[in-house]
Amino acid sequence: MSITPLNAKQQQQYAEQGFLVLEKAVPGTEINALKSAALEIVEKFDINKQRTVFSTRDRDSGRDDYFFNSAENIHCFLEEDALAANGELLKPAELAINKIGHAMHDLDPVFNSFCRLPLFAQVLRDIGYQRPQLWQTMYIFKQPEIGGEVRWHQDASYLISDPPSVTGIWVAVEDAHKGNACLWVQPGGHRSPLREIYQVDWDKRKGTLTELDNTPWPDVHEAVAVEVPAGSVVLFDNLMPHYSSQNLSEHSRHAFTMHVASADADWSAENWLQRPTLGPFDL
Ligand code: FE2
């Protein structure tokens, strides 16, 4: 794959807007390999082993542990509407999974190779990183008809570093458009304050979301839909407000995300995501 560094205009655009689209930056062969690897993980997912995690009984602590432990594992998370009251799946697993997370880059060879495509390391250096480290990966399915809304948020609320140094790399695995609930961002919104912070008290193994600032989330007219073909890469700043609606269409909208931080910034001990065993993943 040829790597074209970001030109000055793209760098300026990223600095001013807080996001940047690189249309069809990743070849179809790489995208297809990633998609197959994701579907293979889902195929191996055994709901019976995780029944208590998703059942209504003991929902909170079981779910919290499953979530926290996903920092160093490959865990499948279900859509809210995918499970009946009796704990049975209402859809086949491949249509019931909301996302896979969060250490595929360490533990799955296909995901590992994908994240190590020189494009990503180059682009990160072009936007100012000297020592980028990959903290989490997510494969998001945005399932047809039941793919739930992801409300407005800023990623810096959930991945805390001092100084803030997290960047999201969002890769379209399938075409994304308004019809199948694409990503929406607020151009320039990365200059707005951090509105919320999610911190974990590890003695209690309990996370709390706290409001820091009551600046309203963007109105529809302030936001833009990021409609992109498969293979496109969207970079966005950790303060960029972003959102996606429920996917009411008949078509899925698979995406893959990577979140990186600078090795020179402090990673908060109150972050939900900790990697004591796996250690740093340098890009
Ligand atoms: Fe996000």
Instruction: Give me the torsion for CA of 89, 101, 235, 145, rounded to 10°.
Output: 0
Q: How far is the CA of 14 from the centre of ligand 1 (A)?
A: 17
DSSP string spanning the chain? ----PPPHHHHHHHHHHSEEEETT-S-HHHHHHHHHHHHHHHHH--GGGGHHHHSSTTHHHHHHHHHHHGGGSEEEEE-GGGB-TTS-BSS-GGGTEEEEEE-HHHH-HHHHHHHT-HHHHHHHHHTT-SSEEEEEEEEE---TTTB--EEEE-GGGTS-EES---EEEEEESS-B-GGGT-EEE-TTGGGSPP-EEEEEETTTTEEEEEE---PPPPPGGG-EEE-B-TT-EEEEETT--EEE--B-SSS---EEEEEEEETTSEEPTT-S---TTT---B-
Assessment of whether the complete model's pTM goes beyond 0.75: yes
Q: How far is the CA of 214 from the centre of ligand 1 (A)?
A: 19
Q: How far is the CA of 236 from the centre of ligand 1 (A)?
A: 9
Q: How far is the CA of 86 from the centre of ligand 1 (A)?
A: 31
Q: How far is the CA of 119 from the centre of ligand 1 (A)?
A: 21
Each of the 283 residues of the chain gets a pLDDT tens digit; together they read: 556 689 999 999 999 999 999 999 999 999 999 999 999 999 999 877 776 666 555 556 678 889 999 999 999 988 877 877 777 788 888 888 999 999 999 999 999 999 999 999 999 999 999 999 999 999 999 988 877 889 999 999 999 999 999 999 999 999 999 999 999 999 999 999 999 999 999 999 999 999 999 999 999 899 999 999 999 999 999 999 999 998 999 999 999 999 999 999 999 999 999 999 999 999 9
Give me the sign of the Cα torsion angle 263, 9, 185, 74.
negative
Q: How far is the CA of 263 from the centre of ligand 1 (A)?
A: 21
Q: How far is the CA of 159 from the centre of ligand 1 (A)?
A: 10
Q: How far is the CA of 25 from the centre of ligand 1 (A)?
A: 21
- Compute φ and ψ for 156, nearest 5 degrees: -65, -15
Q: How far is the CA of 155 from the centre of ligand 1 (A)?
A: 5
Residue 57 CB coordination number (10 Å)? 8
Q: How far is the CA of 150 from the centre of ligand 1 (A)?
A: 8
- In tens, the pLDDT along 3-16 reads 668 999 999 999 99
Q: How far is the CA of 193 from the centre of ligand 1 (A)?
A: 16
- In tens, the pLDDT along 189-237 reads 999 999 999 999 999 999 999 999 999 999 989 999 999 999 999 999 9
Q: How far is the CA of 95 from the centre of ligand 1 (A)?
A: 22
pLDDT at 50: 74
- How far apart (Å, rounded) are the C-alpha atoms in residues 16 and 279? 33
Q: How far is the CA of 243 from the centre of ligand 1 (A)?
A: 7
Q: How far is the CA of 225 from the centre of ligand 1 (A)?
A: 15
Q: How far is the CA of 207 from the centre of ligand 1 (A)?
A: 17
* 134 Cβ contact partners less than 8 Å away, ≥ 6 residues apart: 105, 115, 258, 259, 260, 281, 282, 283
Q: How far is the CA of 124 from the centre of ligand 1 (A)?
A: 18
* Averaged pLDDT of the chain: 92
The helix/strand/coil state of 115 is: helix
